[in-house]
């Protein structure tokens, strides 16, 4: 059976795309194990999802490696080597989430972020923070197109990449693009994160 492909263009996101980025990621992660753990109520998760992800999109987009499909159904938020969210933006994210999430939800979100930070590789790398495709557009090759937009450049520059897969399906996608599973980590009582590393491929 031939895998469906997409003709949607993948392009760098602009400030005008921030709301769309948040909406795409919220839709893609609505049924993700991490979001189900943080916000167990499905209707509430649907309602607050875009508001949860908006400060992340707004903070990462200026770093210059955030991508979106032209039809705004897929998005990828990377942090290039040597770049980082500013302390001011990190504080703003925390304040925003404190206003959106309940105390219990905020505690679980903080525990997940702490585990991710604790196990971040020390070697310089490009970090894929979030990648998602709206459920109605999955299976069309959008995830692969978003990955290749950055991985092809990393290969040319000889730079490795790192991410965490939240599901086995995502893990398989990353493995098809050269990522190798390192190990699994998880916050206490929370879902596992499959840590993935990719060495640059020679031309």
DSSP E strands in the chain: the ranges are: 10-12, 66-69, 74-79, 126-133, 161-165, 180-185, 193-198
Residue 55 is given by DSSP the state H
The model carries a pTM of 0.93
Tokens of 190: 């929370």
Q: What is the pLDDT of residue 119?
A: 97
Structure tokens at 147: 């990955």
Residue 192's nearest CA partner among 162, 169, 163, 166 is: 166
d(CA 196, CA 176): 12
Residues 48, 137, 196, 41: is their CA dihedral positive or negative? positive
Predicted confidence pLDDT, tens digits, the chain (203 residues): 334 455 578 999 999 999 999 999 999 999 999 999 999 999 999 999 999 999 999 999 999 999 999 999 999 999 999 999 999 999 999 999 999 999 999 999 999 999 999 999 999 999 999 999 999 998 889 999 999 999 999 999 999 999 999 999 999 999 999 999 999 999 999 999 999 999 999 87
pLDDT at 34 (0 to 100): 98
List, in order of start, the domains of the chain with CATH numbers.
10-198 (3.40.630.30)
């Amino acid at each position: 059976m031939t895998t469906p492909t997409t003709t949607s263009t993948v392009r760098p996101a602009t400030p005008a795309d921030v709301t769309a980025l948040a909406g795409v990621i919220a839709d893609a992660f609505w049924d993700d194990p991490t979001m189900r753990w943080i916000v167990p109520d499905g209707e509430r998760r649907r309602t607050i999802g875009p508001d949860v992800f908006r400060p992340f999109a707004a903070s990462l987009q200026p770093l210059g490696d955030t991508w979106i499909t032209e039809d705004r159904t897929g998005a990828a938020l990377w942090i290039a080597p040597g770049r980082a969210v500013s302390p001011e933006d990190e504080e703003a994210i925390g304040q925003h989430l404190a206003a959106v999430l309940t105390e219990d939800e905020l505690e679980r979100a903080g525990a997940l972020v702490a585990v991710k930070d604790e196990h971040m590789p020390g070697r310089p790398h490009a970090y894929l923070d979030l990648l998602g495709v709206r459920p109605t557009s999955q299976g069309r090759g959008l995830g692969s197109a978003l990955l290749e937009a950055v991985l092809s450049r990393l290969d040319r520059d000889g730079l490795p990449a790192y991410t965490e897969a939240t599901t086995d399906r995502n893990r398989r996608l990353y493995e098809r693009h050269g990522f190798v599973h390192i190990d699994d980590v998880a916050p206490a009582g929370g879902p596992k994160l499959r840590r993935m590393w990719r060495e640059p491929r020679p031309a």
